[in-house]
Structure 1
Amino acid sequence: MQPHQLAYFLAVAETGSFTQGAQRAGVVQSAASAAIAQLERELGARLFARGYHRLDLTAEGAALLPHARDVLAAIQSAKDAVAGARGQLVGTVRLGTLALTGPWDLAAVLQRFAVAHPRVEVHLRQTISGSVTSLEEVRSGSLDLALVSVSATDLPGLALTEIHREPMVLACSPDHRLADAVEVSITELAAEPFIEYPTGWGNRATVDQAFASARLTRTIRTEVTDFALARTLVARNLGVTILPVSAIDATITAVRLHEHLEWAFQLAQPNHLRISRAASELARAIIGDAS
């Protein structure tokens, strides 16, 4: 059993695809498939159930998964120890991020980190399915760290550190009936068609909770994953939305909310898995920049 076999197995298991797993591992698909086939022969068991457009772990594959993570983490820890003895920091960090980080400059943090630690590769992955998915990927170990937007302060298997917080405002067209208002309540918005973000996004959860607390329902006309598209639709008076104040631009009008909703995001780290020294240093850099 070779480390690269476990690495390819883990990549395929976490992505649910031989093609995507091979891409994550940085090899051609045939190499990943051959290595996993050899691993299956060595173990005497099928690790994946291959179906039409579907790839699932068998019971044997599910049993191997946590041990594969442990073995690869131990190998990385050994490499970290040797590099540390030489005064070096090496490794790869998989960092998930949000579609929006407000005025907090993630690129600047990564640039400074790259200058300080040139032998660490940071693989940045922007979520298109929201913080819920990123949290699960941190729990499972497919991401080392992730920037997420959640209202909870205590989640199983995770340590959360707040990075940024800001108010949320109503975003409407400049010629909308509420555009000149000083302040609006969500009770005034129940009949408005909303441009929203998918379930699982932090800003969506905050707004959903506000309407639920007020025992109100609303009409969600459109769901998007792109803030620029949301602003375009709002500017065309095709609906309203509620956004972090930093997401407002000159094409739309912001109106203060009576309910004082806030959008925040946090850095999520696993507290049940061992992460590499490189991941720990990147977490320290992110948290240090936010403080």
Structure 2
Amino acid sequence: MDLRHLEYFSAVASELSFTRAADRLTIAQSAVSAGVRSLENELGVELFDRSRRQIRLTSTGELLLPRVREALDAVGAVHDAALDATRALTGSVVVGLMTSVTLVDVPGVLGSFRTAHPGVGVRLRAARRGSAGLVDDLASGEIDLAFLALIGPIPAALTADPVASSPMVLVVPTGHRLARTRMITLAQLADEEFIDLPPGYAARSIVDVAFASAGVERRVLIEVADIGTAAGYVANGLGIALLPEFAAVSTRDVERIPVSGVADFTVYLAASRTRRASAAVRALMNVVLADSRPGRL
């Protein structure tokens, strides 16, 4: 069995596209297609359903994917052991990020990492469903590390270290009836209409938990998928928002007001507890944790 064919299968399963998998592997699409077909012929099974516009894993493919990734991890361990002997680090790391969350200087961290380990490639992937989606991607092996926000206990399947945090603030348009208030309670917001992120995003979960704990109902008028755009909707009079302070610092025509009874927005560096971390992944974790300065904005 050709190890490359297992890598091709894993990449196509991640991307659900032969074209994107080829781009990720930096090889021709025809080579990926031929490699996957050769693996299917060798195993005597169909790994992908190609009958639809977008390919999907067959039930057999879904069953074999975790085993294939375990095998690739095991081969990676052998590779890492050889690298340890020569002290040369190569490989790749896939890092998941929350859209528009700028609390961590990711370019700076990666610059430091590249200087220390020029042989390691890093690929960034934006969260598709907020922090909840990143947790799922870590569990499935789609990504190796993630900068994500968590509320409550850390999931048992993850290791997570806090690296930055920001207080939640009320964002209202200039001229709003609450604009000059020094401190807001959730009870004062019962009749307001809110701009917020969809369920599954950490900032939304923080606010939902806070209102539920206070016994106050609220109305979410508009849901936006990018936390960086929410304050702009507030500035245009479409509602108010409870956001991490960093998400509204540069927005004009709004006021940011401290609010009581709402937890901070905390960013963690997270990895899977159940999947083996490669030497490259461990090295990047060390750089992030060494450079991070947990604290408030």
TM-score scaled by structure 1? 0.93
Query: What are the Cα deviations for residues 210-233 of structure 1, in whole angstroms up to 9, with x where unaligned?
Result: 112223322212111233422221
Give secondary structure in 1 for the equivalent of 2:210. Answer: helix
The yes-or-no answer on 1:55 pairing with 2:55 is: yes
* Aligned CA-pair RMSD: 1.8
Greater shift, 206-215 or 225-234, is seen at 225-234
Partner of 1:286: 288
Q: Judge conservation of contact 1:104–1:164 (CA < 8 Å) in 2.
A: yes
Aligned CA distance change for structure 1 residues 144 and 102 (closer, same or farther; 3 Å) = same
Query: What are the Cα deviations for residues 243-268 of structure 1, in whole angstroms up to 9, with x where unaligned?
Result: 11122225121011022431111111
Q: Judge conservation of contact 1:147–1:267 (CA < 8 Å) in 2.
A: yes
Query: What are the Cα deviations for residues 45-91 of structure 1, in whole angstroms up to 9, with x where unaligned?
Result: 11123342353323322232122112212222222222222221111
Q: Judge conservation of contact 1:176–1:237 (CA < 8 Å) in 2.
A: no
Q: Please list every run of 5 or more consecutive structure 1 residues that lacks an aligned counterpart in the other structure.
A: none
The yes-or-no answer on 1:105 pairing with 2:142 is: no
Q: Please list every run of 5 or more consecutive structure 2 residues that lacks an aligned counterpart in the other structure.
A: none
Aligned CA distance change for structure 1 residues 215 and 53 (closer, same or farther; 3 Å) = farther
Partner of 1:146: 146
Give secondary structure in 2 for the equivalent of 1:284. Answer: helix
Distance 2:137 2:31 in 1: 25
Partner of 1:79: 79
Distance 1:103 1:136 in 2: 22
Give 1:276's match in structure 2, choosing from 275, 278, 296.
Answer: 278
Distance 2:57 2:103 in 1: 41
Greater shift, 236-245 or 66-75, is seen at 66-75
Q: Judge conservation of contact 2:96–2:134 (CA < 8 Å) in 1.
A: yes
Q: Give 1:14 deviation, angstroms.
A: 2.2
Give secondary structure in 2 for the equivalent of 1:213. Answer: helix
TM-score scaled by structure 2? 0.91
Distance 2:188 2:261 in 1: 12
Q: Give 1:237 deviation, angstroms.
A: 1.4
Distance 1:87 1:185 in 2: 56
Q: Give 1:204 deviation, angstroms.
A: 0.7
Q: Give 1:102 deviation, angstroms.
A: 4.2
